[in-house]
Each structure stands twice: as C-alpha cells, then as structure tokens.
Amino acid sequence: MTHDIHIIGGGLAGSEAAWQLAQRGFSVRLSEMRGGGDMTPAHQTDGLAELVCSNSFRSDDSDKNAVGLLHHEMRKLDSLVMRAGEKARVPAGSAMAVDRDVFSAEVQRTLDEHPKVTVVRERVDALPSEGPTIVATGPLTAQALAESIVKATGQDRLAFFDAIAPIVHRDSIDMDICWIQSRWNKRNEASNEDGDYINCPMTKDQYLAFHQGLMDGDKTEFREWEKDTPYFEGCMPIEVMASRGVDTLRFGPMKPVGLDNPRDTTPEFPQGRWPYAVVQLRQDNKLGTLWNMVGFQTKLKYGAQVELFRTIPGLENAEFARLGGLHRNTFLNSPVVLDRQLRLKGAEHIRFAGQVTGCEGYVESSAVGLVAGMMAAAELAGREWQGPPRTTALGALLAHITGDAEAESYQPMNVNFGLFPPLHDVGKKQRKEAYTSRAKADLAEWIARGELVAA
C-alpha cells in the first residue's frame, strides 16, 4: 500500500478529510469516480467539491446562528472548504455564498498541488476489506458501492428526495420591474452597494395565479419504489410547499417583509411599500452573470418550469442556465451502524463522512469530513481521540449523528441550537448569544489542549 489512508469520494466531505490528513503528514489516495467515465444524476462537472444545489453556505453570523458558529469553528480548525469559500465569495447579505466554479477550482488546485494527496479518477464498487478508509461518497453513492454498504451494515438504506433550484442569466432579468435590495438592508463585507438580492414583486392576483400554476403544473413522475420516500424539510420543492396552503409561500421563500419596492411609492411610503409576495434571486458566480432563484427547488418538468417561471414579473424573458431538478438521496442510519468515531461497527477500519451519515447541508457535510479526517489522523498516529466538546457546533452535530438521535426516526439534520446541551438559566433573548459564547470558549480550550496535533 503506497498511501496511509484511502478516501472514497471527492465531494465536500472527502476533500476536507483529505486536506486535514495531508496537513498532518499522512499520504492520501482520494478516489473520485467523476472524470473516470462515471457521473451522478445531479453533478455537471468532474471538479472536486462541486456544489450541486444552492451556492450558499447560509448565515455567516457566528454570534447568533448555529451554522455561522460552525463556520467559525471550521475556520479555527483550518478548513479547506472555508479557505476556498473566502476566495470564491460573492455578495449575499449576511450569508456566505460563493461562485461555485471558482470554489471547486480552488479546492481542486489545493489538493492537486499537495504533495501528500493523490487524486485518482476511479469508481470504487465495494468497501475495502482492509486498510484505513473514509467513505465520503455522499447521498448519490453509486449503486454497486451502495449495495456493498447495505450488505456490510445489515440495514436497509434510508432515502429522501432533494431538489435543485433554477439559475437565471442576469442580463435576461427586467430591472425596470425588479430591484436590488437585501431584506431589511442587511450588509456584510462582501455585500454589493445597493443590496445582494434581485427582487421580483408580485401583486395578490399575480401571486394567486402563480400558486395555482404550481399546483396545476406538469410534474416529474415517480417510480413505484420511490413513492414512499420522504422529502427533506430543509430543501422542500416549492410546489410541495404550495400544496400546504395558499399563503405558505408568502411566509417562506416568497415572503415580502423587509423589502421596499422603490417603484411603488406614495407620500405615506416614500421608500416604497412591501409587495404582496416577492421572488428573490441570489448571485451565483463572481462575475454576477448568473443568479439562482432562492428557495425554488422544484420537481416540475422543464417545459412547465419555463412556462410558469416566465410569468413572474421581471422574468418574462428569463433565460435559464440551469432548470430545477429532483434526485433521490440516500443516507445511513448512523446512530445504529456507526460508533462515536464514525467507524462502521464490525469493520472499524472504515469511517463514513459527509451527507451519507445523515447530516444535511454543505457546511455540515464539510464539517463531518473535517472531523473524520482529524479522527483518522489521531488513530494513524496512535493517539487516543478526544472529540470537540458537545457544547460546540462540531460536537453537537457529531453527537446527533452518532447516537443522540432516535434511530427509528433518524432523518437528515442541519446544525441547530436544538442539538446543543440546553442552557436553562439564560433568558430567551440572550440564549443564542450564550450558546455561541460558550461554544467559542470551549472550542478554544479544546484547541489549547493540543487536539489539532497528529502525533
């Protein structure tokens, strides 16, 4: 064996794990099937760490938001994903969004140039029988390897549907109708001067017609074996949300609050008044030429998408760089099949990382890859692993995956304060700040104890 550890899967988690191990001096073989003649139903390139759905890493506020806190912790642990994200960052208000092509290229370049990493374009069809391994093949694991995992775990695969939002060419948006503004005019260092979102306003009649169009639109047919597969609540197709009530979208991705339409002014509202509903688009690349429709994941057929989305004010002549789509994701029942160090019970030489463990979201997937890499490095160095405190975002997420969650109802989960040990003596208004302050202090203490050192 010419490498210390084999990582299967070059997505966010696999790339992050490879970086953490290589930085600690261990040689890594990183196997990625894309570029070797195979592709998944959702990917479009063979680039490492390709972002398939949104281009957003969500909130970057580390003082009041759980995912922002996770950003902070990953930066403290020298995350490759956070490094590349900063170089590829595009305006998105208080969120962290990236140019997906620049981001993937930066991850690819960093790992290609690392002397301890060998990227091999190959499909792996079975779990290795020996040798340290991290499986980070994500929710679109190839069929042969998925069957090998099922055989090894003795558990049926769990599955859910994940949906992709459309991307629109910026120059096809009618800015005589739309305007640029961030909700409540929130800004960060990467923000554009006027705001970070293009807003398409709707009157009540336009909204009701659009809602009906979602209900009536021609949708993807499911295979018989897919019909009982649940959606993930954090990435719900817009027509499924619409089916829950006529106003559901107005309190979700199409909420108008905090957005003042400058073309609808009166003496009483000189800055403009809130529309009845709003469709928002967020910048998707550094050039600002591509914008994605926020929250518009869909299972409408392509023709129905084009017809309906061009009824949105300002998008009448929209040209789509990518239409929405739907794919099936699979994940392990991790509380049952994995130990506290993400190792497969009964085959401890194999670890799992990323979305296949049942975490949800780009940042969470990367974070689990980061921790898996650190765990493997400690084991290779002959050190006992002491994980991050459960009061941290990393520790809370890891605890959820490896045992805190109910196995019978285990579902993909974004990081959130509900996973943290509770604070009972803090008022509700101060609770988020208290969670993040405690986490930052505990992480700093954990780092000071030398947990980042491999040997």
DSSP string, 85-141: HHHTEE--TTEEEE-HHHHHHHHHHHHHH-TTEEEEE----S--SSS-EEE--GGG-
Q: How far apart are CA 319 and CA 342, in angstroms?
A: 44
Beta strand pairing call for 158-164 and 133-135: unpaired
11 is in an annotated binding site: yes
How many C-alpha atoms does 364 have within 13 Å on its Cβ side? Answer: 24
Beta strand pairing call for 290-293 and 320-322: unpaired
353 is in an annotated binding site: no
Q: Which two tokens stand for residue 43?
A: 């990917």
**Region at 381 (left for phi over 0; alpha for psi -120 to 50; beta for the rest):** alpha
Q: How far apart are CA 116 and CA 121, in angstroms?
A: 17
- If DSSP codes are grouped into helix, strand and coil, which group holds residue 283? strand
14 is in an annotated binding site: yes
Q: Which two tokens stand for residue 160?
A: 């859910």
Q: Which two tokens stand for residue 293?
A: 């429709």
314 is in an annotated binding site: no
- If DSSP codes are grouped into helix, strand and coil, which group holds residue 5? strand
397 is in an annotated binding site: no
Q: How far apart are CA 275 and CA 279, in angstroms?
A: 10
68 is in an annotated binding site: no
Q: How far is CA 248 from CA 164, 165, 252, 254, in A?
A: 19, 18, 6, 9
Q: Which two tokens stand for residue 89?
A: 């960052």
Binding residues for FAD: 9-14
Binding residues: 9-14
